[in-house]
Structure 1
Amino acid sequence: MKPETKLGKQLQTFNRFAGLFHLIQAIALFFILNSDTKIPVITRFFTDTPEGIRPVSETLFEFPIALIAPIFLLLSAIAHLLISAPFYIQRYEQNIAKGINPPRWWEYSISSSLMLVVLLMLGGLIEISAIVLIFTLNFIMNLMGLVMEKYNQLTEKVSWLPFNIGVVAGIVPWIMGGLYFWVSTNNIADAIPVYAQFGFLLTFIFFNTFAINMFLQYKKVGKWKDYPYGEKAYIVLSLVSKSVLGWVIVLGTMGV
């Protein structure tokens, strides 16, 4: 099937370009990444010692941190190429006309959660319970974007409840990460690599631009009165944020 309108063709081209660019970067980063830089994932539990019950840590496993970069880029590539594929493009166009794009939020829920997890692990959040919490809260935050679009299909006046729930869920990992980054950089010299600090700041800014984009869409500010304009903004923001963080992580772990 082909797109029904000129806008549909534009969005199809836009998504294909983004998908291919994500894919090329994912392949390139996979072949140049440094697999020697590994971060442990630990668990903590109590044990009985001669001095009494004390908490101890145990490493569950270690993995090359840079490997996450090509993975979240690949996930975005697959999502963009699928929604611009002939079998889905008409449905995608119809959804955009209604002001909703479900695949976007499912992809963000996984890819951005991986981005946030790897970033905060570089800041010291390496306990398995913290990792699961960070991933889950960010996953929920993104799905609240989908709920926002679905729920407001049924209302005459915009309801901001899903948006506000998403903000609450999404801010908690950043507070946790911010505390770890602040404590580490103020008490342990060179505890967090400069590239990780740089990535933390940039990613925080990028993550907030997605919320701002949705806010402008539903407030119908300027060009955002037209939902497809916000859709294009999402594509650009996703491409830029994942590209920047991917290269920052891979080049940083290579010592560049």
Structure 2
Amino acid sequence: MSGALLVIEAIALWIVLASAPSRVFLPIALDLAAGPHPVVLVRLDLGFGVVALCLLVGVARLLAITPGIFPVYSAQVAGGRHPARWIEFAFSSSIVVFLVAQLNGISDIGALVLSYAATSAMTLFFVLEERTERAATERMLPLWFGAAIGIVPWGVIAFHQIAGLLVAQSPSGLGRVITLVMLAFSFAFFLVHWLLLEHRLSPENRLQPENRLLPENRLLPENRQEQQRIDSARSSSSGEVVHIVLSLASTSVFAWLVVVGVVSGQL
């Protein structure tokens, strides 16, 4: 459902942009030590950049529900693993950070590529958290390491925001709004994942070894183990739904804010 909505949105955005009187092109430049000025390598069409983002996320979601992939996808989600989520998130979140950085005046290709790479690396830590078995007290470590890396591009963007204000060359008002909105969505993604992990690692939700003895020296009943597995799968599926809704909302809001800015000339 979310995939189809994003594909429809991409088509609608493309129609709006095609009829717009002007476009916004953001430079991607290389600053050479021997040259007096940065060399512009290419100019990115901002409007069609967000159209491509909507298509990417939409197609990824549609692929996940195709007959050949959905059984594997649903089994992985029930088992507490979300490879489809992290593949899509690695690309979409990195593209968003890349475009937001450009909106804030960052044009150097080195800084843009590093921002993209740092955001993708953050996602790899989330994958590591799901796939590495360790004590519950240590399961949060990959999450915190990922957050520490993922916040770096936003720190660079904030630095450019402040520097722009100091030299009276700050981004437009809408550009600042887009930056703050997407930063809030990034925090929401992290918060949701943290809360879901906290819930999964709580003592009452962790699966216990089958031979563990209760205080009364009785073996843990099999139906208790089965109920824990069902609850764990249900929690994992609910978390996936929350992520899909949040992904749909963040992608849509970002795309429409950018297109409104392009059409109205505020970017």
Query: TM-score w.r.t. structure 2 length?
Result: 0.81
Distance 2:71 2:26 in 1: 44
Distance 1:235 1:136 in 2: 23
Distance 1:156 1:58 in 2: 51
Q: What is the Cα deviation at residue 39 of structure 1?
A: 1.1
| DSSP-derived class of the 2:107 partner | coil
Q: What is the Cα deviation at residue 120 of structure 1?
A: 1.1
Match of 1:247 in 2: 256
Shifted more, 122-131 versus 24-33: the winner is 24-33
* Structure 1: 4+ residue segments shifted above 6 A: none
Shifted more, 127-136 versus 177-186: the winner is 177-186
Q: What is the Cα deviation at residue 87 of structure 1?
A: 1.2
Q: Return 5+ residue gaps in structure 2 as ranges.
A: 203-230
Q: What is the Cα deviation at residue 55 of structure 1?
A: 4.8
Q: Are residue 38 (structure 1) and residue 19 (structure 2) matched?
A: no
Q: Are residue 206 (structure 1) and residue 189 (structure 2) matched?
A: no
| DSSP-derived class of the 1:27 partner | helix
Question: Contact 1:124–1:180 at 8 Å: present in 2 too?
Answer: yes
Aligned alpha-carbon RMSD (Å) = 2.1
Q: What is the Cα deviation at residue 80 of structure 1?
A: 0.9
Q: What is the Cα deviation at residue 195 of structure 1?
A: 1.6
Give the counterpart of 1:231 among 233, 236, 240. Answer: 240
Q: Return 5+ residue gaps in structure 1 as ranges.
A: 1-16, 48-53
Question: Contact 1:19–1:78 at 8 Å: present in 2 too?
Answer: yes
Q: Percent identity?
A: 27
Distance 2:57 2:113 in 1: 21
Q: Are residue 184 (structure 1) and residue 164 (structure 2) matched?
A: yes
Give the counterpart of 2:152 among 167, 172, 175. Answer: 172
Distance 2:195 2:95 in 1: 26
| DSSP-derived class of the 1:40 partner | strand
Aligned residues: 231
Distance 1:169 1:249 in 2: 26
The one-character-per-residue Cα deviations of 1:189-233 (angstroms, maximum 9, x if unpaired) are 5x31222111100100001111111111111089x9722221111
Give the counterpart of 2:62 among 76, 81, 86. Answer: 81
Q: What is the Cα deviation at residue 43 of structure 1?
A: 1.1
Distance 1:145 1:73 in 2: 23
